[in-house]
Amino acid sequence: MQVGTVQKLITIFSDAFQKLGREVPLGKLEDLAVTIHRAMTVHARHFHTLEHVFTFVDQEDPIRTLAALYHDIVYFQVDMGFSSQIWQIISPYINQSNGDFYVAADISSDDRVAVLMLDIFDLKPGQKLSSVAALNEFLSGLVMAKQLSGIVTEKDLLRMAICIEATIPFRGRNEAGLNHFENMEVRLPGIIAQYGIELTDEELIQIIQTSVVFANKDIENFAEADPGRFLDNTWKLLPETNAALRLPDVYSIGTYRMALQKMVLFFDSLDADSVFNQYRGMPADADFAIMSKRASVNIHVARDYLKIKILSMVILEALAVATGGDAPVSLFMGDVPREGVSIKRLEYYLPEIPTPAWLDANDTLFRLLDSGRASDTSFDMRNSPLSLFIFKSIPFEQIEKYLAVAQEMITGKITAHEFLLKLDKSIVGPIAQASSIMVYTRRAALMQYAN
């Protein structure tokens, strides 16, 4: 019989503490489990959920397990703030000014646990937090330390906090040419000496090796062998970082286009070599090479996939703006299909076109657009029939040229009408024709672009 999520969390906490030789009252186990459950089941979370946390649980490693339970407990931009329980813990340690977060300047040196967290995260009182990502990881580590202080040893708190700190993603090498984990090896002896924490050289290396495994696990989807599964997780992140997408069938064409643009900008700025990390043979060279190669492939595929999706949305957006203004995606494309329900959709009215000679039906992009990502989401279809129609209509080089023209429309250099006139009529005409069937309130205006 399957147990409830809170009961599962209680069991995970209990097992981890037992392996560490700690006796914890049942009431305390319940309090800890409820804290995690409340924080991780916020409606806005689609990827950073308890299901993600449970993938980390290792019955043989209580340090990794406990770190996993807390590593995403704070997610400011997704949760739209902090819950009252979390705020009660962290409020003495951060300040916010003009949208930026700072470490509180008046943290007492007697607050040993808080100061230890600052040292592990290489922060100083009064310091501005460099990014929201760093804010989330630091505060998650702080909540963990405050809740577990007195239950586990200071040495174990240190080991857990190093795992959580390691999940600050996509950090390159420092001026000395060291990656983050090599730099932690330099910093850690000073920290343990300051707090009188006894660690052998072997234990120190083992702690950092555990943290690199933990950090790589947190972003393991970049190493998916199937780009469709990788894009699944990308699509789960979209509503987390774009609140408007949390309302299926309501968000506008322009809103969706902007969300896709933000994602492609992220991938454009991402160095595939900075995704995964290696430290003293962990992971092994062969495994690390495979992970890095797959990350590079997935990032490349995601960029091209998003570009095609963006162009399809820009064309719809231009048609909407030119005929009455931006509108919900569902007005032009139809509602997201629901199982067992027949819904009128834009793609039903697009012409069937053969696969051109320049395309391979076995190509990854073709397959993703035709068959779709690995699963559906609440706000979007798995496959992309409108994007596939465009992909089959013009070579990819032309898609990139049209995206450059689209940017002129987006920035106001040309009008939506002018943008549509610059596109191949074999694309605009059928999409406008199909749109005129979907949006009968604008039928006459849309038919001007169909003819």
Whole-angstrom CA distances from 445 to 7, 18, 321, 417 are 58, 70, 11, 11
Most confident of 162-166, 226-230, 332-336: 162-166
Length of the chain: 451
Main-chain dihedrals φ then ψ at residue 374, nearest 5 degrees: -70, -25
Long-range contacts of 293-298 (CB under 8 A, 24+ apart): 294/222, 294/223, 294/224, 294/225, 295/222, 295/223, 296/272, 297/227, 298/222, 298/223, 298/224, 298/227, 298/230
Q: What is the pLDDT of residue 127?
A: 92
Mean pLDDT, residues 339-352 taken together: 85
Mean pLDDT, residues 275-291 taken together: 97
Kindly give, in sequence order, each residue whose CB lies less than 8 Å from that of residue 126, ignoring residues fewer than 6 positions away: 102, 103, 104, 105
Main-chain dihedrals φ then ψ at residue 252, nearest 5 degrees: -85, 165
Q: What is the pLDDT of residue 358?
A: 87
Q: What is the pLDDT of residue 130?
A: 73
Q: What is the pLDDT of residue 378?
A: 55
Mean pLDDT, residues 432-441 taken together: 97
Compute how many other C-beta atoms are within 10 angstroms of the C-beta atom of residue 382.
18
Express as a percent the part of the chain with pLDDT over 90: 69
Mean pLDDT, residues 188-209 taken together: 96
pTM score: 0.90
DSSP annotation of 226 reads S
Least confident of 172-176, 315-319, 347-351, 417-421: 172-176
When pLDDT is cut at 50, 70 and 90, the band that residue 362 belongs to is: confident
Q: Give first-to-last CA distance, the chain, whole Å.
A: 62
Residue 313 predicted with pLDDT over 70: yes
Summarize pLDDT for 374-427 with one digit per residue, the tens: 566 555 667 889 999 999 999 999 999 999 999 999 999 999 999 999 999 999
Q: What is the pLDDT of residue 44?
A: 62
Summarize pLDDT for 152-195 with one digit per residue, the tens: 999 999 999 999 999 999 998 888 999 999 999 999 999 999 99
